Chain A
Amino acid sequence: MSATVLDIITTAALLYAVAAGLLIVFGVMKIINFAHGAFLTVGGYAALAVTHWGLNPWFSLPAAFVAGCACGMLIERVVMRPLYSRPLDAILATWGLGIILGQLITLAFGREVQFVRSPLAGTMNFLGTAYSEYRLSVVLAAAVLAGALGLALNGTRLGLNTRAVIMNENLARALGIDSARVRFGTFSLGAGLASLAGALITPLSSVDLNMGVPWLVNAFMLVLVSGVSLISLGIACLVLGGAQVLVSTYLNPILGGLTIVVLAALLLRLRPKGFSRD
């Protein structure tokens, strides 16, 4: 039983880490970034490079973040900027970018499924259950991430500007906020966060071209039900992620894989605001 509780908490933490970057891009740009999966993959391969260079595995987290941000900056400037007024086209362009990024990664790293050393290998005794140390550390990482994002949004000038753009872009622009810069900043940050999440999940998974795909649709759904609030996202991850674990454990893991998508779609149909409060 307590193993199930730990499964729920760690699953929610992973989902939160994966979806956070998508959420802030959605908040500012009002688009779903279909390249999110590709950014996850970038993070995975950044972690792989760190392993190849023989550096400490923990170092893969900052490396992935930087690599993701760099990709995000480039893409925002070249592709996203002309598409601000065409949100559905922006979605498609991010989709195409995902294809391109994936193929470029293949050309650079080969098509093989690759592996990254886990920084924490064993299990530890947690409240009477032997549980994977790494999964527990992911909870810590997600908490730190949530805290840092909350601080950045509430405590820094760019964060305040970002919140202003999220609430009402026209008004923010009228108040002299450079919304193009905010968009640039958030898209890069979103890419960086996705990449960071990619590095975070690699010790539990393999590094390959499609590593982002299974996470993608779930992350989309979680963001759509959360509105633009990081707190709602936390609740959504816990509730829907929890439902996924419960369905997988007590019914069938295949149904479990569909739980988030199906529940989120029904939730949005019956309560279009999802988990956001007003």
Chain B
Amino acid sequence: MSKDFIQSAGLKLAILAVLFVALPLLLVSLDKGYIYQVVMLALIFSLLAVSLQLVTGIAGLLHLGHAAFYGVGAYIAALAGADYGIGFTLGLPLAGLGAAAIAFVVALPTMRLVSIYFAVATLGIGQMIFLVLQNWVEVTKGPNGVSLFSGIDLFGYTVDSELGIYFVVATIVCISIWVIHRLSHSYYGNALRSLREDDQCADAMGINTVRLKIESFMISSFFAGIAGALWAYTTGYISPVDFDFAESILILAMVVVGGLGSIPGAIIGALLLILLPEALRGVGDMRNIIVGFVLFFSILFLPKGLFGEVPSLNFIRRQFGSAWQDNPDKQKVGWK
């Protein structure tokens, strides 16, 4: 028991040590703005992939418009900051809530659609949101995009150094992923998985399927909105093309390559698809072809993903201290 506790605490501490000590030290010693951007992009896309995993990999709803909700969050944060003087402290939750509110309105009519019909509906919604960002010039400033020069204000302090912004982004991404980890690695998460497996059967088990689908879609969109606000504050400039259909597909690719249903897999997929193209910059135009090959062969040889759902759930249960083991056999099953 105590050995398990030390093991799981050690793993969690190691993750925090890498994110908040080793990586910042490395960033400071390299001291290149470009590296900061890549690392923060990797963090933000990890959150995007994990939030899409909740809805697509776990609840089984193929969502082709995730980037649009990311865009809604980014635009709410950027416009609130640039036009209304609403800073990060308030802008961040507003971005999440705004994206979740739109998700709720969208979810009401679409949740009764199944499989491919739901996918097409989300594709349409993503496109609609993109076109609004692109063409509602009076509010969104259209294709010119929005510039946001203010630093991150935190309860009266202004964080504007690259290292400071890194710490803020890393903290918020960490907390957000922790929340989604708790949700998916719980009996609530099991109920979501049952929707993916057989939602009629879940209904017969007393699971309110429509409500669960709407909830997971809203929670996922909330965190996409949070990721959008982080993006707006780290780059200082956003435009509609950051949130088009190709971005939704990129996030979906991260989730599938990492392993549908696996939270650690989504993070691995995000890191791979952000860091690999950057690492290959030296190769020139060939790099996108190489990335394509890596995707193709990873799916061909590992269709369940680099870190699929089954090994991932075992890992979380055994190494992360999330399992219930008060049973006579001391088996690590279910969730605490």
A, B assembled together: no
Residues of A at the B interface (CB closer than 8 Å) are none
User: Which B residues are within 8 Å of any A CB, using their own CB?
Assistant: none
